[in-house]
């Protein structure tokens, strides 16, 4: 079980705006990170994918047929972890496994239909059963957005852009009016968070993203936070406050990252508006951005205070991929802020993850998502959270 982070932060400390502090600086890769990455490279399949791998004995043997079958979600997680180490599909120590992973993902997407939200024919994985049937799609959007522009051959870049456009079209086409996609799975709030991350990273990378889709996603996350109580709605969280808080906080942060890139353009549009309808559109968009930022600041402050609560930090009560993914979402939000809260949290979570790492370099879950590939990749994404991709404001593209 991951020991509590209780005491690493003083509850009386407040979280200011991102403009008041500097974002976290990158830390050198630790021995734990290098050992985890080496294990991922060793376990990549011949076709470039990763399977869910060995699971905890507590999960039974019902998914034995999927243990060694490569799937999109686990491949996305492993590929992201390798990219956080500083490599791209074209350069760096892990360039080859990253490129092979990307090729596997794109092949799966290319074989899928254009209308449904599925990007793969592999069904029934542990990750799908716990986070929802479309987690592969959202993780694919995230990975391809981060790879955009980093493949050094023209044909590869054209293929990637076409594949990313197909995924984003699927996401836009299947979004519900309330900003969600699916309530299926054990903890779909974390799948919703990955959808928000995919939509926003794609926008930041200049991909073809519907602003209506993005703002509906933002609005849904904001509605989950109660400013009076400082708590999040528990829908889709399996009753685990850590999941609800981390998932919705992460979605609000990702939206704010994108909004910061759009603000300057909106301010120019307001100044150069030719009529009142144009001025109103710009004012309304700027007001929405400011309201999300205010809600984000309050939500972040509330979560920082919860980090002193042992029961909150432990999530379900023992390690699972859901906990690691939640720590990643919280970490990205705190890293965007920087400051003492971030430094204390990162130091403590790193010490705990290093302590529970297996001798072979992996991390193992003990409930729900227990596969070594997902858990190892997610733990690595926590340890390298200071390297998470930031907004690329100059490349934002309106649709």
CATH of the domain at 223: 1.50.10.20
Examine residue 357 and state whether it is found in any structural domain, yes or no: yes
Q: Which two tokens stand for residue 267?
A: 């301010």
Examine residue 396 and state whether it is found in any structural domain, yes or no: no
Mean pLDDT, the chain, rounded, equals 88
Say what percent of the chain tops pLDDT 70. Answer: 86
Predicted pLDDT of residue 111: 98
Count of domains forming the chain: 1
Examine residue 351 and state whether it is found in any structural domain, yes or no: yes
Examine residue 219 and state whether it is found in any structural domain, yes or no: yes
Q: Which band of pLDDT confidence, cut at 50, 70 and 90, is reported for residue 276?
A: very high
Instruction: Please give the average per-residue pLDDT across 13-30, as a whole number.
Output: 50
Predicted pLDDT of residue 337: 84
Predicted pLDDT of residue 331: 94
Predicted pLDDT of residue 63: 58
Examine residue 276 and state whether it is found in any structural domain, yes or no: yes
Examine residue 4 and state whether it is found in any structural domain, yes or no: no
Examine residue 397 and state whether it is found in any structural domain, yes or no: no
Instruction: Please give the average per-residue pLDDT across 307-314, as a whole number.
Output: 86
Q: What is the pTM of this model?
A: 0.89
The boundaries of the domain holding residue 184 are 18-390
Examine residue 6 and state whether it is found in any structural domain, yes or no: no
Whether the CB-CB separation of 377 and 40 falls below 8 Å is answered with yes
Phi, psi dihedral angles at 83 (to 5 degrees): -70, -35
């Amino acid at each position: 079980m991951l020991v509590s982070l209780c005491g690493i932060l003083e509850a009386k400390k407040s979280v200011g705006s991102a403009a008041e502090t500097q974002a976290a600086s990158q830390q050198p890769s630790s021995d734990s990170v290098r050992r985890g990455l080496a294990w991922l490279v060793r376990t990549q399949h011949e076709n470039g994918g990763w399977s869910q791998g060995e699971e905890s004995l507590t999960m039974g043997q019902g998914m034995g047929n999927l243990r060694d079958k490569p799937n999109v979600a686990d491949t996305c997680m492993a590929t992201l972890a390798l990219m956080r180490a500083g490599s791209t599909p074209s350069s760096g120590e892990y360039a080859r496994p990253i490129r092979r992973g990307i090729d596997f993902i794109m092949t799966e997407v290319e074989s899928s239909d254009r209308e449904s939200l599925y990007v793969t024919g592999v069904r029934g994985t542990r990750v799908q059963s716990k986070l929802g049937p479309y987690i592969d799609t959202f993780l694919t959007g995230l990975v391809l957005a981060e790879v955009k522009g980093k493949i050094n051959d023209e044909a590869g870049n054209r293929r990637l852009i076409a594949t990313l456009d197909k995924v984003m079209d699927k996401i836009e086409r299947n979004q519900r009016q309330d900003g969600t996609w699916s309530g299926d799975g054990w903890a779909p709030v974390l799948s919703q968070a990955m959808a928000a991350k995919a939509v926003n990273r794609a926008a930041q990378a200049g991909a073809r993203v519907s602003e209506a889709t993005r703002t509906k996603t933002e609005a849904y996350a904001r509605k989950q936070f109660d400013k009076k109580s400082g708590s999040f709605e528990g829908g889709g969280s399996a009753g685990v406050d850590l999941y609800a808080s981390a998932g919705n906080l992460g979605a609000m942060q990702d939206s704010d990252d994108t909004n910061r890139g759009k603000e300057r353009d909106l301010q120019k549009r307001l100044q150069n508006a030719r009529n009142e309808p144009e001025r109103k559109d710009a004012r309304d968009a700027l007001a929405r951005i400011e309201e999300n930022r205010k809600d984000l600041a309050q939500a972040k402050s509330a979560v920082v205070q919860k980090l002193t609560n042992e029961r909150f930090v432990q999530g379900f009560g023992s390690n699972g991929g859901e906990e690691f993914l939640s720590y990643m979402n919280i970490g990205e939000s705190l890293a965007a802020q920087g400051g003492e809260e971030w430094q204390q949290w990162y130091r403590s979570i790193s010490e705990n993850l290093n302590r529970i790492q297996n001798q072979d370099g992996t991390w193992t879950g003990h409930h729900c998502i227990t596969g070594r590939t997902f858990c190892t990749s997610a733990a690595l994404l926590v340890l390298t959270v200071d390297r998470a991709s930031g907004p690329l404001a100059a490349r934002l593209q309106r649709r």
